[in-house]
Structure 1
Amino acid sequence: MYTIGIDVGGMSIKAGIVKDGKISHKMVKETDANGGLDKLVEDITDLVNDIVSQNNMDINNIGTIGIGFPGVVTNKGTVTCVNLALNNAPIVNKIKEKFENTRVEVGNDANVAALAEYAYGSMKGYDTGIMITLGTGIGGGVVINGKLITGANGIGAEIGHTMISTNYYDCNCGNNGCFETFCSATAIIRYTQKLVEEGRETAIREACQNNIGNITAKMVFDAYREKDEVALEVITRFKKYLAMGLGNIVNFLDPQVISIGGGVSNASDIVLEGLTEQVKEYLPFKETEIADIVIAKFKNDAGILGASAL
């Protein structure tokens, strides 16, 4: 049986027909971020109908329509996402009205990315896996014996908002010390900007054309490879807190594998170097074996594949 995976983002809605972990056809539609629930349902419905029609299929050949959202997704199938003008929106019921004979499932985007890696990618073959996505923020997903663990209300696995240490700026959630304020791409950029504003000499000034607003995490990793002093300080700090955050995960769940995805994972050589040993520094039993720490396999297709596996 075929499934359809839909990855809803702030800029685009991507859909794909999936069978046995392979995407046979993809379509993309621009997101109307201000359209609200009705417009989103209309766009998803159009995408499903178009992708089925273009492949000469019948909707009855589709076993499941799975949808991933960048927001809070409850076990009741409602979605809250400020960036998409959704507040406790009953998305599952609305989509089911359009496709009465097809199962409809929804999940948080980081959770479905974890499911994709568990089912088809870097965590395949493991019983217990955790994925963290290091991007603009930090997302997470926990999969145990093939099942996403999202908590009693569907809002669990918010790994990015676990507390690490006191930080010099607050998280967007209003708290201080969240994991994502230390180890996201945003955190890397902000700490680099802080050091540059303090007058530190660095090749990053030239790379960003003396405009700190142009600094990217890639610039910092590239400068690190050239042993730039500012980049060395920024990435050393990043690695310290990444190890601390992963240590918390190991202490709490002791998974078999931790998969790291998101844009920061593109610097996998730097991210993984010595990371296991650093994580062990934050464990009470330092001589025991810990999770395999790997880089996620899927990039842009993780949302489609994971949503299709819901």
Structure 2
Amino acid sequence: MYNIGVDVGGTSVKAGLVKEGEIVFKNSQETDKIGGVEALANNIISLVNEIVEKCSVKIEEVGTIGIGVPGMVNKHGEIVCVNIGIKNGNLIELLEKEFPTCKIDIANDANVAALAEYAFGSMKGYNSGIMLTLGTGVGSGIIINGKLVTGAHGIGAEIGHITIDKNYFDCNCGNNGCFETFCSATAIIKYAQKLIGEGRESLILEKAKNIENITAKDVFDSYREKDIVAVEVIDRFKNYLGLGIGNIINFIDPDVISIGGGVSNASDIIFDGLEEIIRKYVVFKGVEIADVVIAKFKNDAGILGASAL
């Protein structure tokens, strides 16, 4: 039996035929952001039909079509995806009409990435795990006993929006002090811009050429060259990352915490001394705590995780 995983993004919809944790074939098309849930359903229907045709697979041989979406999924299967123009659209109903022999399931894209790591990647073999994706924001997924934990109303597991300290700028969600305003690529860039804007000299600016063009990679590359501003930025980032992970351990005590997202490409820097920082914030000293690991999957996490729903 095959499964199909669909990864819905703001610019493209990607889908893949999956068997035993391996992607057999995948394809993508541009996301239709104008036509609402019906247009998204048509995106998915087109991709699924194309995949089964090109792989000479009957749709009856596909057990599950799982979809990861960049937004909220409530307990009724309705989705809210602001960046693709969908509010309270029932995607499941539309797809069940087209593919009546398949189980249709939907989850938030960060939860889907967590499921990929749990089923096939860095968290495989553990009972409970947390996925943190450090990118433009901080996404997260919680898995306990093999099940995604999203809360009674489908709005839980938003670890990126726990409040951990007062910050000098507000989060996009409207609150101040969210985890993602300290530990995302955006947070790294903003703090570097702040220090340089205050007159600090740095290799970061030489690499970026312009303060508006600074990237997290520029900051990490400058850190490797022992640039004082970059060291200050990354040390601050790592301290808050350790604080956030310490809070997770105190609250949930998972077996493993997997770190992914674009920022994780600098894992050698991030993981250097991180456990020591985490232990400063763990209540019970000297006890065994969660393994903190690097995520295995990058671009294929959405497809693989969705296929495992």
Q: Is the TM-score greater than 0.5?
A: yes
Instruction: Report the alpha carbon displacement of residue 33 of structure 1 after superposing the two structures with TM.
Output: 2.2
* 1:178 and 2:162 matched: no
Distance, in Å, in 1 between the alignment partners of 2:231 and 2:33 is 38
What is the SS of the residue equivalent to 1:260? strand
Q: In structure 1, give the amino acid aligned to 2:184.
A: S
- Aligned residue pairs, count: 309
Question: Displacement, 1:35?
Answer: 2.7
1:174 CA drift (Å):
0.6
Aligned to 1:156: 156
Structure 1 position 70 matched with structure 2 position 74: no
Q: Aligned letter for 1:242?
A: L
What are the Cα deviations for residues 152-198 of structure 1, in whole angstroms up to 9, with x where unaligned? 11111101000110000000111000000000001001111111111
The answer to whether the aligner puts 1:107 opposite 2:107 as a matched pair is: yes
CA distance in 2, matches of 1:19, 1:98: 22
Letter of the structure 2 residue corresponding to residue 219 of structure 1? D
Counterpart residue number, 1:10 = 10
SS in 2 for 1:32: coil
Corresponding residue for residue 200 of structure 1: 200
SS for the counterpart of 1:196 is helix
Q: Which moved more, 1:219-228 or 1:71-80?
A: 71-80
Indicate the SS of the match to 1:79.
strand
In structure 1, C-alpha distance between the alignment counterparts of 2:239 and 2:225, rounded to whole Å: 20
AA at the equivalent of 2:98: K
Structure 1 unmatched ranges of 5 or more: none
Partners of 1:207 and 1:225 lie apart in 2 by: 13
2:40 counterpart residue number: 40
Moved more, 26-35 or 2-11: 26-35
Partner of 2:93 in structure 1?
A: 93
How far apart in 2 are the matches of 1:268 and 1:231?
16
> Secondary structure of 1:281's match?
helix
Three-state SS of the structure 1 residue aligned to 2:281 is: coil
Per-residue deviation at 1:96?
1.0
CA distance in 2, matches of 1:166, 1:80: 29
| 4-13 vs 69-78, which moves further | 69-78
TM-score (norm 2): 0.99
Structure-2 residue corresponding to 1:123: 123
Q: Counterpart amino acid of 1:108?
A: N
Secondary structure, aligned partner of 2:246 = helix
Number of the residue aligned with 1:244: 243
TM-score w.r.t. the length of structure 1 is: 0.98
Runs (4+) of structure 1 exceeding 4 A deviation are none
- 2:281 counterpart of 1:282: yes
Task: Give, in whole Å, the separation in 1 of the partners of 2:122 and 2:26.
Answer: 22
Shift of 1:279: 0.5
Aligned to 2:168: 168
Identity of aligned residues (%): 63
1:216 corresponds to 2:215: yes
Q: Unaligned regions of 5+ residues in structure 2, if any?
A: none
For residues 73 and 270 of structure 1, what CA distance do their matches in structure 2 show? 35
Rounded Cα–Cα distance in structure 2 between residues aligned with 1:65 and 1:51: 12
The corresponding residue for 2:25 is 25
- The superposition leaves residues 23-56 of structure 1 with CA deviations (integer Å, 9 ceiling, x where unpaired) of 0001011112223111111111000000111111
